[in-house]
Chain A
């Protein structure tokens, strides 16, 4: 608490926080404004006398029309959503089961496997993308969503596993023991008792995996080539830039609309996202 005069609250809290918020959110505001700004205003140099950055008096939907009309934007949205949902589902399935096995079952090699999975999280995609592109082509899934659906789990699963391990560890083992005495097999105890209690953790892992899927770029860039197969980030980069010419209006429109689905889903799960984040750093 900041005690004392109101001015202290303003100087030490409200103003700094306000400045942080403005700096963090301004680019999004810029995205919105640019999307609806007509080209004439858009391409006005900043030195020009009538440069009005923060507002436009002639909003237009021309850029949006271009985006939907001249590019496969809706297809990209569909692709990205489809890939994100399926990859998230796969990663959750694997991560929840793996997290359970590593945190609640005793077997030789548990420690080693746990470390191994943690280590794979530290191998960045930018290290693997060249050999992986070859492998993907070898399996004949290049230029299909499956190239991404099967490779995204490689960085989603380790994180989900680690997250779930933390949540599982907090569930008292007496619950499972009681279930097993009551007549449940180990598997049934996991399914009916432990997993339902771990639902908050599962939701955290879900929203994390979903946002990370949308954010992935290099695999999508390297593995997909046809315009209809592309995801939103790749599509926006490759189809709205011709050589050196940037179509800024539609570009911003694409950037804005591409960000909205993630932001919306995220807004339903903010609490879970935050607790997932905090859970993962508290180890």
Chain B
């Protein structure tokens, strides 16, 4: 790019010229029309790169829409209420490959009123599902613990389904410094 600079100096380059000669938002001083062209070009380059940046992660990441769809699949049309569920997950994890997670639900766990299932979802892993666990009064306590993978700093959602057909939810935000799932083998 530097080698081309002397040519354009002196004469006021036109819009088309500015475009063809300097595809990467020239920074050197030029006439007013060239500045306009450069700005338009800058915006075009910016938009193109912004589009590329926003589209790319969608290929490998679940989106908030995918998360909402996955939740909808479990709850159907039943309302989702906040509370009763406790999601115990560290707020900051160094290694997303193994994140300890404990879900507990306030419930008497009797035949008439117990937690039927616990569903865990995430926002930005390649798939929104993490696990589904089915419980019964034989569990005594509605507590499930496991270790999960998180591909990015994101939201983890827990949903508890009770025998009465209620859905309780809670979410936790986790900051992840080393991502899991999609990093290649080194």
Say whether A associates with B: no
**Hey, which bits of chain B sit against chain A, CB under 8 A?**
none
**Hey, which bits of chain A sit against chain B, CB under 8 A?**
none
